[in-house]
Chains A and B, each alone.
Chain A
Amino acid sequence: GAGVSQSPRYKVAKRGQDVALRCDPISGHVSLFWYQQALGQGPEFLTYFQNEAQLDKSGLPSDRFFAERPEGSVSTLKIQRTQQEDSAVYLCASSRLAGGGVDTDTQYFGPGTRLTVL
């Protein structure tokens, strides 16, 4: 089966523009996560969905960041009025189970969207 897919793979935006990044998780996966990976760093947690419910958005850096998963499958991360510090790779991951699941519930990552804000 297909893995996690993300689009676009690359996005260049002028400062102040709005962008929307899409994530298609593995079919049937209940949990979906968004991470931000700055150049030379490890991924950092942004937000978590269980089906359509956004249960944790503690990692979103500002109110310019907004994520949704209206039907419990595809998710969109939207960044309004982009700033240069938003330049990063945005990774999406999904896992089969809800909440904490079991120890063996693996997060599978997509290839990411590289956002460059000029």
Chain B
Amino acid sequence: GQQLNQSPQSMFIQEGEDVSMNCTSSSIFNTWLWYKQDPGEGPVLLIALYKAGELTSNGRLTAQFGITRKDSFLNISASIPSDVGIYFCAGRRIIQGAQKLVFGQGTRLTINP
């Protein structure tokens, strides 16, 4: 099935470093979302972006909705151990009155203390 192109697939960083990941698509989305998934749990929404060009922050997280509506990035500043997990981008569009989410393959973040 369709998935977004998310990179990098994995990251190994030191605690305190900044992190950047991005997502691209060949098609346009109305909304871009970033989720975090911990082992054995479902994805949890971190940030939602609703307008092309929008830059939104949530604590140490910053995300942008690309101007072409085909891409988005997520930055995490000053990483801490609880940031470990898998991050997914998701594009949202409305098809026949129903919202559909298309997810990227995920970025697995590992932090060395």
Contact = CB atoms under 8 A, between A and B. Distances in A.
B72 to A, nearest CB: 14
Contacts, number: 77
A100 B42 contact: no
B3 interface: yes
A107 B105 contact: no
Nearest to A93: B42
A40 B105 contact: yes
Given A42-B88, A44-B1, A59-B1, A99 B98 contact: yes
Contacts of B104: 42
Contacts of A56: 95-96, 98, 100
B6 to A, nearest CB: 8
Interface in A62-116: 91, 93, 95, 99-101, 103-112
Given A41-B105, A103-B50, A50 B98 contact: yes
Interface string B24-62: 000000110000000011111100101000000000000
B11 interface: no
A109 B98 contact: no
Interface of B: 1, 3-4, 6, 30-31, 40-45, 48, 50, 88, 90, 94-106
Which 4 pairs, one residue from A and one from B, show the smallest C-beta to C-beta distance? Answer: A109-B42, A42-B103, A100-B94, A99-B97
